[in-house]
Structure 1
Amino acid sequence: MEEFNPEWFVNRLHDRSARGLARQISALIQSGTLPVGTRLPSIRDLAFGLGISPATVSIAWTDLRKRGIIAGRGRRGMHVCNMFLSPRPVRRTASLSSENVSLNLTSYTPDPGRLPHLSDAFEALTSIPNLNTYNDETISPALRAICAAHWPYPAEDFMATNGAYSALFDTMQALIPPGSTVAVQDPAPMRILDILDYLSTSILPLQSDTDGILPASLAQALARNPTALYLQPNINAITGQRMSRARLHELAQILRTSPSTWIIEDDAFPWFSGVPAESIGVWLGPRVIHVRSLSKTLGPDLRLGIVSASSMIIREIQAYRSFGPAWTSRLLQTVAARLLENEKTHQTIHGNYRHHQEQRHEMTSALRHNGIDIPTGEGFSFWIPVLNDEAACASLASQNIRVSAGHQCSLLAPSHIRFSISHLSGDFERIATAIQQAARKTASPAEQSDLKPV
């Protein structure tokens, strides 16, 4: 392979701003001039050759790494790993492994066999207002009424979207300018971090305990005047822990000191708990955008998320959505409304919740038996501290168990792994024993290679 020394780059990189460097390197990669596998010069050597600060090159490299175009660390340096022609969710793409294992614990979706049956709701459809019309209606009247009656705070306005992540993406696109600073409850869903990377934001990860975001961490982040705060006010979809109402109230008081910060709430598990849902909207309603997913409770293929916010914010998000679908299928909205007004649906959801809580108790007991003491929590996910997440994932893969590396969901230092019980029917003790062994691994195969003498 041809050697690309610093002088080669100096002759081709004429815009020497951080953004210009990232754009030009990306073009060289996409054209095939820099093939996949190419080793890049060190930041110091390239900066010296270009006559610019190493910090400028570092910013450009960070942008390219966030986009999944270059990768690397330590003694191996940076190298070209992909030639993407368009942006993509790097963390999510990396998590979609084709690795063949007998026990895949990375599915954070509900068990299809335990979801409410859709047939009754579809058969009951007789008339759907505005069906097949090009009317940019934010939400159907029937679904609006259901949401307003079961919402955690008195919201001013509602919008139906094509799934919760679509709602979060549209909200962030509409309200968060590129380059903004955003405070994020850590850990967070990988898709949220991917969206914020796509928007070129500066992410401020907030530390949490079992009650939720630490007030001191939020206060410190607000000193940097973030454009928005992202949090999960109920069940944390990554850890399975719940934010307490007392903690939410404490956070609301701190947020009063930063009136320009939008508050984006993500509730992935509505009705899927033993206690009512909460929201900072109780105290700071006009600044709150509350996103509720219906996928975990009614089914992913309904593709429905619900947004509540002030009418002004709903208009802003709707204006952005006009670039794309503009409105969400009234057919699917009507089916969701029929399901949610049916007591049988809620009985099914509650039965599903009890089933998963029994699973969580069994898994928690097995983990404690192996020396891993964590709260029982709710939802599908478990978040386990380990010495090295990549080493732990490799160890479990060698035993035909696939889990997710924690760094895909967290920007803070301690290593974790994440796994799901949503499709698990047993074998808790064997899995817990394997996790306990994996948690003690200290080096991944790549890091072991780095340690070999050159």
Structure 2
Amino acid sequence: MSDDITGTTAAEIADSVRALRDRGALPPGTVLPPVRELAATLGINRNTAVAAYRQLAQAGLVVSRGRAGTVVAGHESVAQEGYAADTVLRDVATGNPDPRLIPDPTRALTTVAGRPVLYGEPVIDEALDAWARDWIAADLEADFRITVTSGAVDAVERLLAQALMRDDAVALEDPCFLASIHTVRLGGYRAIPVAVDDEGMTVAGLRAALDAGVRAVICTPRAQNPTGASLTARRAAELRAVLADHPYVLIIEDDHFSLLSQRPYESLIGPGHRRFALVRSVSKFLGPDMCLAIAATDPETANRLAMRLSPGTTWVSHLLQRLALAQLTDPQVAADVADAAAHYAARNEAFSARLRAHGIDAPASDGLSLWIPLPLPARVVTERLMRRGWLARTGDEFALGDRTEPSRHLRLTVHDLSDDDAETLVADLVAALR
């Protein structure tokens, strides 16, 4: 392959690899020659070959995999949350909230009409901005500014784009939220896995990621998806101590379960940290179709985000902002959200208790789903559950690190099952484990 690549400058070599890729001579997954070998073949300085590969990586055409070499990038599919299409199986892999527990917006809709918002006006509704400041100020000691985005994933994508370049390293929890994996891959960033245990992101994992040069850390402080883990006060303090030596690494906290969580909010963001964002969407309690999130960021990050949220192009509809505020300030909606939070916690605990009665150690963690440890590879178990009419999701889809060992976890969404259906699923799972 080294003989097929031509050029004497970094730009010429990058163009040659690109042309070979476009013609199909270098299909996705092809491992490019090592830098030393390519430099020797072309008779160039090793640094020139390094620069060529860096250009290709920044353009998203190749991916560096460390000792595994530099690989031609493809369009790798990533699993998505939500209901599976075209299945007759009972789907317990969705990660969805219960639609019966999402507040009816009909009454709130009658209050949001007002004068039209025109080009050049502020992109954030003044009343929503004031409410959000009060909400965030109770949990965030640092000076912050409010930005409104089209959901948490939109916020994370914009936050990474304003701070990073292609091939920059980003620390992600492992196992990881599917949307975060997708966002980092599409952005051309390198995901550095950080292990998660019962107390959240691990100290050793974060320290190793920082040593590897990550420029951003994405963390879920509560109800981590898929494990359900929440940061403890002790672990959060330890992580803040590690991050104190890296004040300009961007911390993104995705507090997606905020108003539904049964756990207190603990943060990685120390009082002296210079780049941060606390993101809270409304999708879990007001519904995914609301597509609105509040991002509290440091002033510099807020200014950069403002450049990416200009009126008439990417602002969030003021009608949507008013609708969200009308519900968030409605006492009846607040009571409904509190009831939903209690329901999710109770249903997850009841299902976990059923599993424990059969010898399956499944703690009732926070969130919409349960993370079930298995004595067998998860794919074997899901295949057996399919024969019994269930569609489950394995932990393999959430894995970032070493994938040579199959996952031994299932993520199950069971809060909407009746007691009879829950009993049936537990019995079928126990049978699948035999």
Q: TM-score interval w.r.t. the shorter chain?
A: 0.7 to 0.9
Residue number among 132, 136, 140 corresponding to 2:117 in the alignment: 132
Distance 1:40 1:270 in 2: 40
The amino acid across from 1:435 in the alignment is: L
Distance 1:285 1:177 in 2: 21
Residue number among 119, 131, 138 corresponding to 1:146 in the alignment: 131
Distance 1:217 1:317 in 2: 29
1:375 counterpart SS class: coil
- Gap change, CA 1:406 and 1:67, over 3 Å in 2: farther
Distance 2:263 2:196 in 1: 21
- Residue 394 of structure 2 is aligned to residue 430 of structure 1: no
With the length of structure 2 as denominator, give the TM-score of the two structures. Answer: 0.80
Residue number among 113, 119, 133 corresponding to 2:100 in the alignment: 113
Is the Cα contact below 8 Å between 2:119 and 2:312 reproduced in 1?
Answer: no
Distance 1:39 1:241 in 2: 36
- Gap change, CA 1:137 and 1:403, over 3 Å in 2: farther
Distance 1:344 1:402 in 2: 35
Q: What residue is the counterpart of 2:393 in the other structure?
A: 404
- Gap change, CA 1:109 and 1:285, over 3 Å in 2: farther
Q: What residue is the counterpart of 1:251 in the other structure?
A: 239
- Counterparts of 1:350-429 in structure 2 under 5 Å? 350-386=338-374, 387-413=376-402, 415=407, 416-426=409-419, 427-429=421-423
Deviation by residue 1:57-89 (Cα, 9 ceiling, x = unmatched): xx99x98xx999xxxxxxxxxxx9x9x8xx6x7
Distance 1:28 1:371 in 2: 56
Deviation by residue 1:108-151 (Cα, 9 ceiling, x = unmatched): 221222111101111123535xx331236342111111111222
The amino acid across from 2:277 in the alignment is: I
Q: What residue is the counterpart of 2:313 in the other structure?
A: 325
- Gap change, CA 1:166 and 1:434, over 3 Å in 2: same
Q: What residue is the counterpart of 1:268 in the other structure?
A: 256
Q: CA deviation at 1:331?
A: 0.6
The amino acid across from 2:120 in the alignment is: N
Residue number among 24, 28, 43 corresponding to 2:23 in the alignment: 28
With the length of structure 1 as denominator, give the TM-score of the two structures. Answer: 0.77
Q: CA deviation at 1:412?
A: 3.1
User: Which 10-residue stretch deviates more, 361-370 or 161-170?
Assistant: 361-370
Is the Cα contact below 8 Å between 2:385 and 2:391 reproduced in 1?
Answer: yes
- Gap change, CA 1:429 and 1:256, over 3 Å in 2: same
Q: How many residues of Structure 1 are paired with residues of Structure 2 in the alignment? A: 402
- Gap change, CA 1:306 and 1:192, over 3 Å in 2: same
Q: CA deviation at 1:297?
A: 0.9
1:107 counterpart SS class: coil
What value does the CA root-mean-square deviation take over the aligned residues? Answer: 3.7
- Counterparts of 1:289-304 in structure 2 under 5 Å? 289-304=277-292
Is the Cα contact below 8 Å between 1:107 and 1:423 reproduced in 2?
Answer: no
Q: What residue is the counterpart of 1:314 in the other structure?
A: 302
1:308 counterpart SS class: strand
Q: CA deviation at 1:290?
A: 0.9
Distance 1:226 1:411 in 2: 15
Q: Which runs of 5+ in 2 are unaligned?
A: 63-71
User: Which 10-residue stretch deviates more, 89-98 or 275-284?
Assistant: 89-98
Q: What residue is the counterpart of 2:225 in the other structure?
A: 237
Q: Which runs of 5+ in 1 are unaligned?
A: 1-5, 69-79, 441-454
- Gap change, CA 1:258 and 1:187, over 3 Å in 2: same
Distance 1:395 1:324 in 2: 51
